[in-house]
Structure 1
Amino acid sequence: MNLAEGVQFVSFMLLAAMMLAAALGVVLLENIVYSAFLLGMVFISISGLYVLLNAGFVAAAQILIYVGAVNVLILFGIMLVNKQEAFKSMPNAWLGKLTTAGVCTGLFALLSSMVVATPWEISPEAAAGDRSVVLIGEHFFSDFLLPFELASVLLLMALVGAIILARREYLPDELPEATAEVFKLPERPRELASAGSIQSEES
């Protein structure tokens, strides 16, 4: 192992450790704002891994799109809604936890099988070189155009929904019985007449 390979190996281990620690923080922390910031750290770590793979364009797109757009949109949604509600114990909460654990285990098994079954040998013929940006653009606007548009619409709907929830007017729990009294303006108190003005009127 030469110096370049050693630097790449150490960089990979540091980025992988930072990504795993941030991902665990996203899941385990109770404060959702801290989880959103740690999600941005996960995205930055992934962009660093793309740099190690000589995919500079994908790394820049990772930072611009996921860190600069998606993560900021998530933070806007959290800060706009920011509803303070008391914790309510749910009946049969263990059933939801069991379902979540089953889904996570299934996803982990699926990803592990894909990692094992994927051939990771790099052939020199498959390298695009300087044409990588051109090839990504061609696939992006032909094969993956529909998923891109659907993701854009989904993010726009999430932002609009967060704004609507944040601007919702306060509605009281109990309406007053005489609703007509609500629209009456309070009367101005009459000023007391002075004794001199009363005597002048009598004379």
Structure 2
Amino acid sequence: MNLAEGVQLVSFGVLALMMISAALGVVLLSNIVYSAFLLGAVFISIAGMYILLNAGFVAAAQVVIYVGAVNVLILFAIMLVNKREDFKVIPRAWIRQVSTAVVCAGLFALLSVMVLSTPWSYATEAIAGDAATVIIGQHFFSDFLLPFELASVLLLMALVGAIILARREFLPDDVPADATQSPILTLPERPRDLIGANTEGLDRS
């Protein structure tokens, strides 16, 4: 994709802002469903970065695999798991928040040093273009065969884990009194005696 330099800079800025905002939402929001949806926005913005780098196949694989498979799998696992648990106040919760902030700041500083110290020069080799798919396939099945297989095994483990979490093996017959629904949300059941009387009347007629 050949774009003007100004369009590339604006597109990069919009995608970077979208990625950073969505990533902050994934970490800071308390609703895990919103965090999962924002994770999909992060994956889509990364795919846009790949398009700016003339890596169309990698961008398509990013959308199909991470947005269409991994993120949907995470959403299914979140929405299918329905475990009732009472809210418990965590003692000294600020210690966890401070330690998380320290770890995030350390990772940000490490990545910043790496970005500033790396010589980001343009590659001297010719752009692969349409042959990029063939080159990626050759590397996948030669140099990166082991990481490729490990990634597939990890995705399979995530799928099996989501299925196990979503299963409901035990449904108790006796529901506790405090777990029953309120009368507003339940419909009154029709008496069975009236149903039997009506059927007998129909038979006689």
Question: What TM-score, normalized to structure 1?
Answer: 0.74
Higher mean C-alpha deviation, range 88-97 or range 54-63: 88-97
Matched-pair contact (CA < 8 Å) for 1:40–1:71: yes
Return structure 1 stretches of 4+ with deviation > 4 angstroms.
none
- The DSSP-based 3-state class of the residue aligned with 2:66 is helix
Matching of residue 88 in structure 1 with residue 88 in structure 2: yes
- The DSSP-based 3-state class of the residue aligned with 1:133 is helix
Structure 2 unaligned spans of 5+: 173-205
Report the Cα offset of residue 71 of structure 1: 0.6
The amino acid that maps onto 2:18 is M
CA shift in 2, pair 1:30/1:142, >3 Å: same
The amino acid that maps onto 2:104 is C
Per the alignment, residue 49 of structure 1 pairs with 49
Per the alignment, residue 161 of structure 1 pairs with 161
Write the distance in 2 (CA, Å) between the matches of 1:46 and 1:162: 25
Question: What TM-score, normalized to structure 2?
Answer: 0.73
Higher mean C-alpha deviation, range 111-120 or range 127-136: 127-136
Report the Cα offset of residue 66 of structure 1: 0.8
The amino acid that maps onto 2:100 is T
- The DSSP-based 3-state class of the residue aligned with 1:122 is coil
Matched-pair contact (CA < 8 Å) for 2:22–2:42: yes
Deviations 1:138-159 (A, max 9, x none): 2222232222222222222222
CA shift in 2, pair 1:142/1:82, >3 Å: farther
Per the alignment, residue 40 of structure 2 pairs with 40
Write the distance in 2 (CA, Å) between the matches of 1:163 and 1:81: 10
Per the alignment, residue 14 of structure 2 pairs with 14
Matching of residue 29 in structure 1 with residue 29 in structure 2: yes
Residues 1-203 of structure 1 aligned to structure 2 (within 5 Å):
4-125=4-125, 127-170=127-170
Q: Tell which structure's C-alpha radius of gyration is larger.
A: 1
CA shift in 2, pair 1:169/1:129, >3 Å: closer
Deviations 1:84-143 (A, max 9, x none): 423212233233223322321222122112211221110332633443222222222223
Report the Cα offset of residue 9 of structure 1: 1.6
Deviations 1:21-48 (A, max 9, x none): 2112211222111111111111111111
CA shift in 2, pair 1:110/1:138, >3 Å: farther
Write the distance in 1 (CA, Å) between the matches of 2:129 and 2:162: 42
